[in-house]
């Protein structure tokens, strides 16, 4: 999976890099991106700014960067979507971000860690305890975090969160456990990139994912993504009998290392015919297995694209995003 470009859009809005002092007709109509590049005193080296300066003459002489205080002063009462990029070697200052978003009463969507491969591999993207972000903004509906090195989360209750995504090369077990122990009555979309133990993926199915798979605290959940899993076969076997599946519209096991045995275990469990979509893309399934899944689920949009079996013969299964 390529990670070559910064987000062109987020939460249904086009992204716009923040430059201190730059005016815009409607600050609620864009997803603002605050870049780490402005922390450099000898000029901004980030690729986004270089491209921006070529096509946007109005930003000549302005500085991009993590001017949270200035941003809040200018747009805090009107911003609805915010992207935080952090490309240095330290975890983002979560407390500082939390203090800022507490002053953004209309903020509905927050992305932390919009870092591309040119700046840092996903496994190098440092995070911290993101719990304060949810505590600071009880009105938040969408939280997306990229990078799992140092990632922490405590169990919370949040009445309005509808989408929660953690991207990375390996999800820490305590984070998965905290999600399962959280009360998230409005959550419709939960996406976890489980990854590999080589990059911090310590989440176990029995101990750490049990709460998520039970679904008792996720009554509104309609999309569950257990993606990018090295142990995709074990995940499929667990999902086959997980109570949470009965309420889903979409089950996403993509980007992982699913094999024929995992697919067989998945279909040997509870009926999946109620699903609108089953995403198994990036897999190690034989062609006849992929065809069999389609036959077994005629009313479901099944995605078995991006077969990796043809590339290496299945001798060494791997996930899409690790380092």
Domain count, the chain: 2
Q: Is residue 148 assigned to a domain?
A: no
User: Model pTM?
Assistant: 0.92
Look at residue 58 in the predicted model and tell me its pLDDT: 61
Residues 134, 14 share a domain: yes
Q: Is residue 146 part of a domain?
A: no
pLDDT at residue 39, rounded to an integer? 40
Contact between 212 and 244 under an 8 Å Cβ cutoff? The reply is yes
Same domain (yes/no): 9, 132: yes
Domain finish residue from 138, 170, 200: 138
- Give the pLDDT means over successive 10-residue stretches in the chain (323 positions): 78 91 89 68 51 59 69 95 76 90 98 79 86 98 95 98 97 98 99 96 95 98 99 98 99 98 98 99 98 98 94 78 84
Q: How far, in Å, CA of 66 to CA of 198, rounded? A: 32
pLDDT at 130: 98
* Collapsed DSSP state (helix, strand, coil) of residue 159: coil
What pLDDT is stored for residue 42 in this prediction?
44
Whether the Cβ atoms of residue 235 and residue 196 lie closer than 8 Å to each other = no
- Domain membership flag for residue 52: yes
The phi and psi torsions of 294 (rounded to 5 degrees) equal -60, -40
Instruction: Check: CB of residue 252 under 8 Å from CB of residue 227.
Output: yes
Quote the domain boundaries for residue 222: 153-276
Same-domain check for residues 168 and 240: yes
pLDDT at 43: 46
CB 180 within 8 A of CB 209: yes
98 and 170 fall within a common domain: no
Sheet (strand 13-17) strand order: 9-10, 13-17, 31-34, 81-84, 109-112, 142-146, 163-167, 189-195, 223-229, 250-252, 277-279, 301-303
């Amino acid at each position: 999976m390529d990670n070559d470009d910064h987000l062109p859009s987020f939460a249904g809005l086009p992204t716009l890099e923040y430059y201190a002092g730059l005016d815009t007709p409607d600050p609620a109509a864009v997803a603002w991106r605050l870049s780490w590049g402005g922390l450099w005193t000898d000029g901004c080296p980030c690729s986004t700014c270089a491209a921006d300066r070529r096509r946007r003459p109005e930003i000549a002489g302005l500085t991009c960067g993590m001017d949270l205080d200035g941003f809040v002063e200018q747009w805090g009462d009107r911003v609805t979507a915010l992207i935080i990029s952090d490309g240095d070697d330290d975890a983002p200052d979560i407390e500082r971000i939390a203090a800022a978003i507490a002053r953004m009463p209309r903020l509905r969507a927050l992305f932390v860690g919009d870092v591309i491969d040119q700046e840092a591999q996903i496994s190098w993207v440092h995070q911290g305890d993101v719990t304060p972000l949810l505590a600071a903004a009880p009105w938040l509906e969408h939280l997306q975090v990229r990078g799992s090195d140092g990632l922490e989360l405590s169990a919370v209750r949040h009445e309005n969160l509808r989408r929660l995504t953690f991207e990375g090369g390996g999800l820490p077990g305590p984070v998965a456990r905290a999600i399962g122990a959280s009360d998230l009555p409005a959550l419709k979309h939960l996406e976890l990139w489980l990854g590999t133990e080589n990059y911090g993926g310590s989440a176990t199915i029995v101990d750490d994912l049990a709460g998520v798979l039970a679904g008792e605290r996720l009554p509104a959940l309609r999309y569950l993504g257990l993606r990018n899993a090295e142990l995709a076969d074990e995940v499929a076997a667990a999902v086959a009998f997980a109570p949470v599946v009965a309420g889903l519209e979409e089950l996403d096991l993509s980007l992982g290392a699913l094999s024929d045995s995992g697919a067989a275990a998945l279909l040997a469990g509870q009926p999946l015919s109620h699903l609108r979509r089953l995403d198994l893309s990036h897999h190690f399934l034989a062609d006849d297995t992929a065809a069999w899944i389609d036959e077994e689920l005629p009313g479901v949009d099944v995605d078995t694209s991006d077969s990796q079996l043809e590339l290496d013969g299945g001798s060494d299964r791997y996930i899409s995003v690790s380092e």
